[in-house]
């Protein structure tokens, strides 16, 4: 019986910024094809359009009106990297709503889910589109989980190559959402230094792990083990949401990282272990970046396989390899921990 849900819909292909653009419909074409080759049970989750009230929990009403006004029109440029096509407004509502449908399913009978939607969302600010993103799907999802399902603590894990500026800004003063991000830095959009930890009641609930280039499977796993895991266990989230950017894949044309499909599976495994310890395994992942079509599809397939419990491995073997490689990220981990010393307790 399926324990993992998938949001997929051909309408997500109808947002089109041009064949020249790296964020194009072929991303999902390749991913959907790869999922068709998986011989494990997956539960299809039907997306719906997010309501205006759900969108404006994160975005300014006038901004939503500006996006709505693009419906039925040709290319409307929202920023240097982001534009709409005739059905982009409708598809953007469906992307956010697909995330909400996945959250409902996981708060119900399913163990976990992956919302394979586009356009992506984590750069979208309250009143503007940025970096291929129109509505901030994961921020809308977190707000929805708090209000609709009565949760008090939601963890967002963002492993995209780029810092999720929009997500960070949405929850920067909100202790009900803990935002954790690994990202290439300094790089677009320029935010995400480790000293950015939140403000007001939200101080300590933003955790940034800025990285230079070249980090691979063991490095990311060590960061998740030595920073994310102790914070998450202390925070005790009731739901974990993941902004999954596959532009940290080792052959991504925009990235400088070295993560393999097996590395993405390993990160998923660590998050699943955390979720089992704190929130009955409840995880909802949403697609963000990733621009090597074949590599992204293979990586998504490995993540879905892990969510569904396929391809189990001996975590002790992986941890032994990661321990050997720990020196490569020790300085990063120490800097982040020291900066957060007043907010979280560390073992060793």
Count CB atoms within 10 A of the CB of residue 57: 17
Identify which of 308, 157, 140 has the alpha carbon closest to the alpha carbon of residue 244. 157
Establish whether 59 is a catalytic residue.
no
pTM attached to this predicted model: 0.98
- Tell me: the pLDDT tens digits for 208-267? 999 999 999 999 999 999 999 999 999 999 999 999 999 999 999 999 999 999 999 999
Note whether residue 118 is domain-resident.
yes
Identify which of 237, 231, 232 has the alpha carbon closest to the alpha carbon of residue 151. 237
Q: Which of 15, 123, 162, 163 is catalytic?
A: 123
What domain count does the chain have?
Answer: 1
Note whether residue 91 is domain-resident.
yes
Note whether residue 344 is domain-resident.
no
Four-residue CA torsion sign, 302, 303, 306, 312: positive
Angle between helices 261-278 and 293-307 (to 10 degrees): 30
* Residue 331: Cβ-neighbour burial (10 angstroms; 0-12, 13-18, 19+): exposed
At 1 the pLDDT is: 55
Residue 97: which domain range? Answer: 4-339
Rg (CA), the chain: 18
- Give buried/exposed letters for 201-239 (b at 16+ CB in 10 A, else e): ebebbbbbbbbeeebbbbbbbbbbbbbbbbbbeebebbb
Domain with 112 in it: what CATH number?
Answer: 3.40.800.20
At 348 the pLDDT is: 52
Evaluate whether 55 touches 95 at the Cβ level (below 8 Å): no
Note whether residue 346 is domain-resident.
no
- Tell me: the pLDDT tens digits for 171-208? 999 999 999 999 999 999 999 999 999 999 999 999 99
Angle between helices 293-307 and 26-36 (to 10 degrees): 40
CA separation for the pair 308, 272 (Å, rounded): 11
Note whether residue 34 is domain-resident.
yes
At 19 the pLDDT is: 86
Note whether residue 347 is domain-resident.
no
Note whether residue 345 is domain-resident.
no
Mean of the per-residue pLDDT values of the chain: 96
Residues in the chain: 348
Residues of the chain scoring pLDDT < 50: none
Identify which of 138, 116, 128 has the alpha carbon closest to the alpha carbon of residue 50. 138
Note whether residue 153 is domain-resident.
yes
CA separation for the pair 4, 10 (Å, rounded): 20
CA separation for the pair 272, 115 (Å, rounded): 16
């Amino acid at each position: 019986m399926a324990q993992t849900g998938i949001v997929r819909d051909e309408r997500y292909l109808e947002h089109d910024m041009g064949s020249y653009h790296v964020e194009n419909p072929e991303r999902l074409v390749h991913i959907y094809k790869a999922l068709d080759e998986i011989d494990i049970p997956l539960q299809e989750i039907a997306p719906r359009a997010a309501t205006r009230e759900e969108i404006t929990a994160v975005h300014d009403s006038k901004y939503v009106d500006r996006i709505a006004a693009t419906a039925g029109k040709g290319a409307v440029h929202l920023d240097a990297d982001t534009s709409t096509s005739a059905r982009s407004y409708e598809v953007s509502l469906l992307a956010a709503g697909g995330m909400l449908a996945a959250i409902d399913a996981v708060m119900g009978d399913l163990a976990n889910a992956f919302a394979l939607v586009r356009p992506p969302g984590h750069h979208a600010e309250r009143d503007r589109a940025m970096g291929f993103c129109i509505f901030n799907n994961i921020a809308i999802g977190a707000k929805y989980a708090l209000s609709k399902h009565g949760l008090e603590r939601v963890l967002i894990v963002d492993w995209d190559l780029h810092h999720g500026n929009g997500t960070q800004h949405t929850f920067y003063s909100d202790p009900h959402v803990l935002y954790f991000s690994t990202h290439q830095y300094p790089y677009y959009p320029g935010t995400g230094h480790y000293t950015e930890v939140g403000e007001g009641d939200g101080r300590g609930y933003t955790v940034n792990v800025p990285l230079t280039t070249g980090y691979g499977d063991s490095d990311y796993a060590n960061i998740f083990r030595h920073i994310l895991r102790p914070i998450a266990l202390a925070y005790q989230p009731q739901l974990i949401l993941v902004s999954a950017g596959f532009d940290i894949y080792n052959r991504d044309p925009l990235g400088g990282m070295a993560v393999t499909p097996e590395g993405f599976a390993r990160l998923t495994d660590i998050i699943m272990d955390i979720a089992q310890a704190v929130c009955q395994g409840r995880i909802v992942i949403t697609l963000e970046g990733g621009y090597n079509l074949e590599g992204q599809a293979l990586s998504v397939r490995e993540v879905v396989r892990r969510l569904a419990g396929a391809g189990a491995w001996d975590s002790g073997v992986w941890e032994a390899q990661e321990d050997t490689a720990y020196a490569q990220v020790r300085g990063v981990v120490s800097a982040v921990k020291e900066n957060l010393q007043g907010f979280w307790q560390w073992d060793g």
